[in-house]
């Protein structure tokens, strides 16, 4: 009887130990499964972030894939020539910051701003006294109206006012492009040579009126003008 009882007690102890081992094993398994589940959530989040990152490059490529023409004439730009330095003899013109106030000088010829405006054939204001060329834009009056130059413009303001009050608008950049084209055309006519700006006034209007497409890589005439401000021969060349 005693031997049988001892045997039963030993068996019960073994079962208890086995159950304890199973419980510990199950706890470990649960912890591992929980850890795996956590890692799965982390991995899922990482995959989501990776997908978002992979979705971003096309937008960035669109913004950064614009060709550097450095600065070619428009005909070379239109050709889509892989050699960005072929025909690299032109200038990108002055930005709106130059044209908006009568201070500073032109990039190539060094003309004072008020004289540059006069050469464009448009009026910054009426009149433009050289002695007052440092005054703020709103101390002047009159000037060529934006709507008289760009028939589709909604701005019933002078070119001077649009340049100073409508920063970032299409007209803000188109005005600068047109003034550059007319100014450089006038300098070319006086010197008897071709324009040193990358396009002529005629080419500007052809693209504005969609008789001529903008060069490959540019979204619009505004984009073309805005992308080349202050460019000089040799810019971007090896």
Q: Where are the domains of the chain?
A: 2-61, 69-227
Distance CA 142, CA 133 (A): 15
Helices (H) and strands (E) in the chain, counts: 10, 0
What per-residue confidence (pLDDT) applies to 33?
44
Q: Tell me the mean pLDDT in the region 114-139.
A: 89
Distance separating alpha carbons of residues 148 and 159, to the nearest angstrom: 10
CA atoms within 13 Å, Cβ hemisphere of 55: 6
Q: Dihedral of CA 182/187/190/192: which sign? A: negative
Residue 103: is its pLDDT beyond 50?
Answer: yes
As a whole number, the mean pLDDT across the chain is: 76
pLDDT-derived band at 127, boundaries 50, 70, 90: confident
Q: Check residue 76 and give its pLDDT.
A: 66
Q: Is the pLDDT of residue 35 over 80?
A: no
């Amino acid at each position: 009887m005693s031997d049988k009882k001892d045997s039963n007690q030993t068996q019960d102890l073994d079962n208890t130990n086995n159950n304890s081992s199973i419980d510990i094993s199950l706890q470990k398994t649960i912890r591992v499964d929980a850890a795996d589940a956590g890692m799965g959530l982390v991995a899922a989040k990482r995959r989501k972030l990776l997908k978002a990152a992979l979705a971003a490059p096309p937008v960035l490529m669109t913004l950064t894939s614009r060709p550097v023409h450095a600065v070619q004439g428009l005909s070379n730009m239109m050709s889509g020539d892989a050699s960005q330095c072929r025909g690299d003899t032109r200038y990108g013109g002055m930005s709106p910051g130059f044209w908006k106030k009568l201070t500073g000088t032109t990039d190539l010829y060094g003309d004072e701003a008020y004289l540059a405006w006069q050469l464009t054939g448009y009026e910054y204001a009426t009149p433009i006294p050289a002695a007052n060329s440092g005054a703020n834009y709103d101390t002047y009056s009159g000037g060529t109206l934006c709507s008289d130059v760009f028939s589709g413009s909604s701005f019933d303001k002078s070119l001077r006012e649009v340049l100073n009050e409508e920063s970032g608008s299409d007209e803000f950049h188109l005005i600068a492009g047109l003034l550059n084209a007319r100014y450089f055309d006038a300098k070319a006519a006086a010197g008897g040579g071709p324009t040193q700006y990358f396009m002529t006034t005629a080419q500007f209007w052809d693209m504005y009126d969609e008789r001529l497409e903008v060069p490959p890589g540019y979204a619009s005439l505004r984009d073309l003008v805005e992308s080349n401000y202050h460019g000089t021969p040799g810019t971007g060349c090896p």
